[in-house]
């Protein structure tokens, strides 16, 4: 549960949005959002399908430009920064759809991800054997993600749940300070959701996490703080208990979010 208080050395803001909007044609997918994520916290975004959660992540990460507003990362205005530059500044993310090389082994996927951090453009052509440091780091990542013993397995032959855990390991290989997780448990069986939630809980407290999660129980069990998005707007922001009992959240979220493809 929300036992975690941000540690003393983690004062400050990891990411902040001020007046952020994003339109697609006539549709305001994100509408004047103000959101502050304190460093060292686990902040969960909830809201019905189509509320603008994934778009908000793309605006945080720089994959999409804002139509209006400012984004700051660890106190720096990054509104004009590319996704690559934000990634180098410590922002990592996973996607709603898995993003692993299914034809490669777990180890090969992680070697390539670690090279990404070093900025090698042609890393696919540099071979995929780790050096001793890399190998130790892979052991660590596999331990964190509950994939011990799976190092040489071809990613595509693993269960969907394991592939999602590998995707998390890939994101961690970049050593982010802020990690955006877009529905990491989407499509997982009930038996696979536990290991995913345990893995997220095991992540170090100094890593700030923003998590989009559709499963309310899983979300509230992980969150220090929750924001609810509805038609592109933040309609509630507070502790899990506050947001769960918010009248507007109850009517719009619980009333409309029951179906999710």
DSSP 3-state of 39: coil
When asked if residue 50 is in the footprint of ligand ADP (CB under 6 A), the reply is yes
Residue 62 parent element (H or E): none
**Contact criterion met (CB below 8 Å) for 156 and 188:** no
Q: Which of 54, 107, 208, 227 binds ligand ADP (CB under 6 A)?
A: 54
Question: Which residue, 152 or 258, is less far from Mg ion as judged by CB?
Answer: 258
Window of 11-19, 48-56, 111-119, 140-148 that interacts with ligand ADP by CB under 6 A: 48-56
- DSSP-derived pairing of the beta strands 42-46 and 27-38: unpaired
Question: Which residue, 53 or 164, is less far from Mg ion as judged by CB?
Answer: 53
Say how far apart CA 48 and CA 228 lie, in whole Å: 9
Q: Which of 21, 41, 54, 174 binds Mg ion (CB under 5 A)?
A: 54
Say how far apart CA 30 and CA 22 lie, in whole Å: 5
Q: How far is CA 244 from the centre of its chain?
A: 21
When asked if residue 184 is in the footprint of ligand ADP (CB under 6 A), the reply is no
Q: Which of 47, 62, 161, 184 binds ligand ADP (CB under 6 A)?
A: 47
Residue 47: CB minimum distance to Mg ion, A: 9
Residue 44: CB minimum distance to ligand ADP, A: 13
| Residue linked to tokens 């686990």 | 42
40 strand-pairing partners: none
Q: Which of 20, 51, 155, 234 binds ligand ADP (CB under 6 A)?
A: 51
When asked if residue 61 is in the footprint of ligand ADP (CB under 6 A), the reply is no
Window of 23-31, 142-150, 166-174, 217-225 that interacts with ligand ADP by CB under 6 A: 23-31
Say how far apart CA 172 and CA 205 lie, in whole Å: 14
The closest alpha carbon to 197, from 20, 1, 62, belongs to 1
When asked if residue 53 is in the footprint of ligand ADP (CB under 6 A), the reply is yes
Residue 195: CB minimum distance to ligand ADP, A: 24
Residues 6+ positions from 95 with CB-CB distance below 8 Å: 167, 182
Residues that bind ligand ADP (CB under 6 A): 24, 27, 29, 47, 49-55
């Amino acid at each position: 549960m929300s036992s975690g208080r941000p540690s003393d050395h983690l004062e400050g803001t990891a990411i902040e949005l001020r007046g952020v909007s994003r339109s697609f044609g006539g549709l305001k997918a994100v509408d004047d959002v103000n959101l502050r994520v304190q460093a060292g916290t686990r902040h969960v975004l909830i809201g019905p399908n189509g509320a603008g959660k994934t778009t908000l992540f793309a605006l945080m990460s720089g994959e999409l430009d804002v139509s209006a507003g400012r984004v700051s990362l660890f106190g720096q205005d990054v509104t004009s920064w590319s996704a690559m530059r934000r990634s180098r500044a410590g922002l990592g993310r996973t996607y709603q759809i898995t993003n692993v090389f299914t034809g490669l082994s777990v180890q090969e996927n992680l070697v390539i991800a670690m090279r990404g951090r070093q900025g090698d453009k042609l890393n696919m052509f540099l071979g995929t054997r780790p050096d001793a440091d890399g190998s130790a780091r892979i052991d660590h990542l596999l331990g964190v993600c509950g994939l011990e013993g799976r190092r040489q397995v071809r990613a595509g032959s693993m269960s969907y749940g394991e592939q999602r855990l590998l995707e998390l390991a890939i994101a961690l290989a970049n050593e982010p300070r802020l990690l955006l997780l877009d529905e990491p448990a989407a499509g997982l069986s009930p038996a696979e959701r536990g290991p995913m939630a345990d893995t997220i809980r095991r992540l170090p407290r100094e890593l700030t996490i923003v998590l989009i999660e559709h499963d309310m129980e899983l979300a509230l069990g992980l969150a220090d703080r929750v924001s609810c998005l509805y038609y592109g707007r933040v309609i509630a922001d507070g502790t899990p208990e506050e947001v769960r009992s918010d009248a507007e959240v109850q009517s719009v979220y619980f009333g409309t979010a029951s179906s999710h493809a």
